[in-house]
């Protein structure tokens, strides 16, 4: 089963050796959002941005099902509703965050989504003017709760 693979996921960040922050971009099924957010929250991930998007991910001739209907086969039914989550975190937290999202979004059916990991140069908290690690850190967040440091 893919569950074990998801639990032991490890993201390859070696292409960006000096980068301290990364943006995890997850494209998931909209009705899985609440569950993903809940599990992220439980591990202290408190900063995220969510948007409604549409997308396609057609592999071979296989079709995704949405609302009782097959998608991907014809041009009039191609783009499917998805939710995008953007989470910027410190380097050391990337694996845990990706595992939480993948585990909570997984159903095993075509259309479960994708996760991309992007490098982030810097972070600014607008209210205080803090930058870098100070701006990334959330009080009572993942580092405080689980000890997983950035």
Partner 1 sequence: MATALAASAALAALPLHPHLCRRSAPPRRTIRLSVIASAQAQPDVAPKVVDRFSAFDRVSVLAEALPYLQRFRGKTIVVKYGGAAMKDESLKARVVSDLVLLSCVGINPVLVHGGGPEINIWLNKLGIEAQFKNGLRVTDAATMDVVEMVLGGRVNKSLVSLIQQAGGAAVGLCGKDSDIIRARQMVEKDIGFVGEVTSVNPSLLQTLVADGYIPVVATVASDGNGQGLNVNADTAAGEIAASLRAEKLILMTDVPGVMRDKDDVSTKFASLSIRECKELEDEGIIAGGMIPKVACCIRSLSQGVGATHIIDGRAPHSLLLELTTTDGVGTMITG
Backbone angles phi, psi at 71, to 5 degrees: -120, 155
> Nearest distance from residue 35's CB to partner 1, in Å?
7
| 79 binding partner 1? (CB under 8 A) | no
130 lines the binding site for partner 1 (CB under 8 A):
no
Q: Do the beta carbons of residue 64 and residue 57 sit within 8 Å?
A: yes
List 46, 77, 84, 125, residue binding partner 1 (CB under 8 A): 77
Beta carbon of residue 96, minimum distance to partner 1 (angstroms, whole number): 19
Segment 39-68, which members bind partner 1 (CB under 8 A)?
A: 65-68
Kindly list the distances between the CA atom of residue 42 and the CA atoms of 3, 35, 93, in Å, as whole numbers in the listed order.
20, 11, 14
Q: Is residue 32 at the binding interface for partner 1, with CB under 8 A as the rule? A: yes
Give dist(CA 150, CA 147) in Å, integer: 9
């Amino acid at each position: 089963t893919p569950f074990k693979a998801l639990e032991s996921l490890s993201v390859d960040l070696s292409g960006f050796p000096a980068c301290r922050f990364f943006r995890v971009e997850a494209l998931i099924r909209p009705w899985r959002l609440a569950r993903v957010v809940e599990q992220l929250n439980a591990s202290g991930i408190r900063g995220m941005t969510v948007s409604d998007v549409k997308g396609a991910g057609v592999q071979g001739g296989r079709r995704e099902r949405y609302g009782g209907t097959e998608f991907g086969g014809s041009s009039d039914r191609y783009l499917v509703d998805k939710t995008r989550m953007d989470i910027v975190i410190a380097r050391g937290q990337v694996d845990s965050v990706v595992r939480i999202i993948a585990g909570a979004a997984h159903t095993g059916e075509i259309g479960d989504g994708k996760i991309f990991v992007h490098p982030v140069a810097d972070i600014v908290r607008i209210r205080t003017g803090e930058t870098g690690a100070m701006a990334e850190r959330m009080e009572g967040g993942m580092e405080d709760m689980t000890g997983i440091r950035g």
